[in-house]
Every structure is written in C-alpha cells, then in structure tokens.
A and B are shown apart, each in its own frame.
Chain A
Amino acid sequence: MIRVSVNKMLKAQDSEFNLQIDCTIQSGEIIGLYGDSGAGKTSFLRIMAGLMTPDSGKVLVGGNRWFDRKGRVNLKTSKRSIGYVFQENALFPNMSVRRNLLFAVDETHQMESLDRIVELTQLERLLERMPNSLSGGQQQRVALARAMVREPQVLLLDEPLSALDHNMRSSMQDIILKSQRELGFTCILVTHDMSEIFKMCHRVFSLREGNIVKRGTPYEVFSENRSGGKFSFTGEVIDIVKEDVIYIVTVLIGSQITKVVADESEASNFAKGDRVLVSSKAFNPIIQKIPGT
C-alpha cells in the first residue's frame, strides 16, 4: 500500500499554488491522474520519484518511508523502487536495445527477469537494433521494458503513449496491463485520454490546481451522476452526417466503428475528433451468442 500526504508550493509562470496530495493507493492498483496541464500531475510523479522535495508530509510505500519531513527521511531516487517512463523516451542513442536494458540492471537476480520482460514487451527481435532505427512505438516499448527491469514496486508513467497512433497506443496499453498482472507493480499513469483511463485504470484522481477534486472509478468520476446508463463507452467522433431529419454520428470506440442517431440539437455540439461518452440503458442492447463459440 502507498500512503501519500504531502504539501508543496508550486510556482508556475504567473501563478503560485499549493500542491496538496492526500491519498492511499492499494498495492497493484493502476491509478490515472487526470487534469489540465499545470494541475500538478507531473509534480505528483516527481515527488514519488524523489525528483521533487515536498515542503511537508510523508510518502510511505509498502511500509517503507521514502519521505518524511519530520523524520528527516528523503530517499534518493536510486534508492526508491520505481520505474519512470516519460512522454519523450530517454534511451541511450549509442547503445543497442539490449545494452539499454542491461544498463538498468543493477542486481544479478534481475538478469533472470530480463528475458520475461523482453517477452512481455515483445522486444525479442529488436534486441540488437539501435534506438534511432526503431519506430516511436518500439522505442516506447524499450523505455517501458527498461523501467520494469528493476522490478519496481511503483511504475510511474507520464503520458508515455500520447505521441503514438491509435493502434500502437492500444497495443502498448495491452502490454502495460499484461505486465502489471504478471509483475504486480502499482502504477500511476498521467493521461488526458478518456478511453485510456476507462481501459487501464482501476481508479482516477482528477486534479485541479494541486488538489484531488474527484476520485473514484472512471465511471464514478466521469459519468456525472447519470443513472441507468449501464451500457456506456467512450470514443471519438469521426463523422457526422445529416440523414433525413436526424443526424448519424459515427464514433470510434476502441477499434470498433459504431453509429449513433442524434438530434440536431445534439449533433450541433459535436465536431470530428471530439471525445464522447456513448451510453444506453441496459434494457436496450440486444445480446446474442456468437455461433461456434
């Protein structure tokens, strides 16, 4: 279990605010951090990583004190059991994938898990390649693998998938989920992508000006007290067409194309690229067994 209770005065360009994080995270949970830029999401990760020192409070991870102002404890980043993946990967350009991964190994027993992590991140065939010969998605897989090599208790992900296209992002999400299940780490994920939160996160902390203003399951945080919408998904508007007196809104949900009928008053609020919540009452969908399954 992770217990965080910290304060830190943050100075932005033209404002100052107090980052005030008070939360408990269960071991093995995937937590999404959501909020506008400048809300304090990355600062939260930096405090967890020991890259930023809070003004007061405590950070306890699995019974160990990583930070305790009063007790004058502040573990160095290298002493904290973390893995950190940024939006922009920071691979060593002059080293092969294999050497990039080996560089992160600091204890011999970690060599044994290396093969497993290479397999989880599907890097078997890329080990001898140099980073600049890899695609963006492949590079992020290496960065993820490197962050997991030390078998961290806590994996910190700062929008690692935001630069990837939809398919690549989706397969990276699957890799992270599978890795979490196999390795059991706790994960804190900064993301702006609603569908990513619904797919990945057990709980979400919504941050505003340094405070957690909402917390709960993605559904609790984002469904705005709408009741009865048991059949609900998030997606992206890819097309809006007027047919007769109605509008047909095409929404990409995961990799599935769906169509939703909307009235003019609704359709006029949407534009291509908008993120939307598609919901229906549980009474409406028709469910059928797929033959041969």
Chain B
Amino acid sequence: MNILTGKISKVSVNGNLTLLDIDVAGENFKAILIENPDKVEFLREGKEVSVMFKETEVVIGKKVEHAISLRNRLLCTIKSITKGPLLSKLRLEHMAGEIGSIITSNAVESLQLVEGEEIWAMIKTNEVTISE
C-alpha cells in the first residue's frame, strides 16, 4: 500500500458521493468516496489525511502526448526496478514520498523503462482511499 499525506483543499458533494481535492506536496490529488461529510467528521477542508492506493493501481506513463482521464499524476524518478518473469516492481521517488508501482514486465520492456529516468505515475480517482 502506498501511503502519502495531504491536506483536503476542496470537498464536493452530490448525495452520497463525495469528491475530495487533496493537496499532496503541492500536487492536486483527487479521490471519490461513497460517503457523506455530514456523517464522516474528518472530510473537511483543511484536514490532514492519509491518501492510500495499492501498488497494483499505479499506472506508468512516459512522454504522454494524448489527453488522459486519469486525474492523479505525479512526475517521479525511477529509483529501482525489480523484474520478475511476469510482473515488475518499480520504486518511484516523488517529493510527496516514495511510491511503489507493480506493472507487467512486458510493459517495463516496451516502455524501455530504466532506473533514474523521469516518468508519470498515475492513479484513478476511484482507487484512492482516504484515512484520518
């Protein structure tokens, strides 16, 4: 599990859905929850929260030129690549902290990822869990 800390900067509510904007080391992160701030005390602007997402949900992009729906994008440096027969684990460095990403070894090869290079780590809004 990747765990970053951030501060809630905006709370948008529609019925039982809440979309949070979270400032994570200067980057705008978004998370959607089935939750209502009336019932969950810590879903407030200015609250410090943990932002969590699984390694397997971190998408890696390189020189992305087309528009993309993924809202959470962090420009990272690849610290290390551990390659397995099918899956590989990347350790990524960002100002917000270290992030792990698990992608197929096939993807590592076709993107020609190497240690030290800059890439985009991206996480879908609905894959982000928030905790106090």
Instruction: List the B side residues contacting A283 at CB < 8 Å.
Output: 32, 126-127
Stretch at the interface among B21-29, B64-72, B85-93, B109-117: B85-93
Q: Is the CB–CB distance between B87 and A228 below 8 Å? A: no
**B106 interface residue per 8 A CB criterion:** no
Q: Is the CB–CB distance between A245 and B89 below 8 Å? A: yes
Chain B 39-81 interface 0/1 with A at a Cβ cutoff of 8 Å (1 = within): 0101100000000001110000000000000000000000000
Stretch at the interface among A137-145, A194-202, A219-227: A219-227
| A residues with CB within 8 A of B | 224-230, 244-246, 261, 263, 265-266, 281-284
Q: A224-B131, A225-B42 are in contact. Are A263 and B1 (CB under 8 A)?
A: yes
Q: Is the CB–CB distance between B100 and A263 below 8 Å? A: yes
**B121 interface residue per 8 A CB criterion:** no
Q: Is the CB–CB distance between A282 and B86 below 8 Å? A: no
Q: Is the interface of A mostly helix, strand, loop or mixed?
A: loop
**B132 interface residue per 8 A CB criterion:** yes
Instruction: List the A side residues contacting B33 at CB < 8 Å.
Output: 227-228, 281
Determine the distance from Cα of A283 to Cα of B82 in the docked complex, in whole angstroms.
Answer: 30
Q: A263-B55, A263-B100 are in contact. Are A244 and B86 (CB under 8 A)?
A: yes
Which of A225, A266, A284 is the most central at the interface, judged by chain B CB atoms within 10 Å of its CB? A225
Write 24 A-B pairs (CB below 8 A) sorted by A numbering. A224-B131, A225-B131, A225-B132, A226-B129, A226-B131, A226-B132, A227-B43, A227-B129, A227-B132, A228-B31, A228-B33, A228-B130, A244-B84, A244-B87, A245-B82, A245-B83, A245-B89, A246-B56, A261-B54, A281-B127, A281-B129, A282-B34, A283-B32, A284-B127
Q: A225-B42, A226-B131 are in contact. Are A261 and B56 (CB under 8 A)?
A: yes
Determine the distance from Cα of A244 to Cα of B55 in the docked complex, in whole angstroms.
Answer: 14
Instruction: List the A side residues contacting B56 at CB < 8 Å.
Output: 246, 261
Determine the distance from Cα of A246 to Cα of B102 in the docked complex, in whole angstroms.
Answer: 8
List the count of A-B residue pairs having beta carbons below 8 Å apart: 63
Instruction: List the B side residues contacting A245 at CB < 8 Å.
Output: 82-84, 87-89, 102
Determine the distance from Cα of A284 to Cα of B56 in the docked complex, in whole angstroms.
Answer: 13
Name the contact of A227 in the complex, choosing from B40, B86, B89 (C-beta under 8 A).
B40
Known pairs A245-B87, A263-B89. 13 more at Cβ < 8 A?
A227-B42, A228-B31, A228-B35, A228-B130, A230-B34, A244-B85, A246-B87, A246-B89, A263-B100, A265-B100, A281-B33, A281-B127, A283-B32
Instruction: List the B side residues contacting A282 at CB < 8 Å.
Output: 34
Determine the distance from Cα of A282 to Cα of B34 in the docked complex, in whole angstroms.
Answer: 7
Determine the distance from Cα of A265 to Cα of B82 in the docked complex, in whole angstroms.
Answer: 14
Closest to A242 in B: B84
Least CB distance from B83 to A in Å reads: 8
Least CB distance from A149 to B in Å reads: 42
Q: Is the CB–CB distance between B130 and A263 below 8 Å? A: no
Q: A228-B34, A246-B87, A263-B1 are in contact. Are A281 and B131 (CB under 8 A)?
A: no
Instruction: List the B side residues contacting A261 at CB < 8 Å.
Output: 54, 56
Least CB distance from A233 to B in Å reads: 16
Determine the distance from Cα of A227 to Cα of B37 in the docked complex, in whole angstroms.
Answer: 11
Instruction: List the A side residues contacting B85 at CB < 8 Å.
Output: 244
The 10 closest A-B pairs by CB, nearest first: A244-B84, A283-B126, A225-B132, A245-B89, A228-B33, A244-B87, A226-B131, A245-B84, A228-B129, A227-B130
Which of A224, A263, A266 is the most central at the interface, judged by chain B CB atoms within 10 Å of its CB? A263
Which of A225, A245, A263 is the most central at the interface, judged by chain B CB atoms within 10 Å of its CB? A245
Least CB distance from A262 to B in Å reads: 8
Instruction: List the A side residues contacting B1 at CB < 8 Å.
Output: 263, 265-266
Instruction: List the B side residues contacting A265 at CB < 8 Å.
Output: 1, 100
Instruction: List the B side residues contacting A266 at CB < 8 Å.
Output: 1
Least CB distance from A263 to B in Å reads: 5
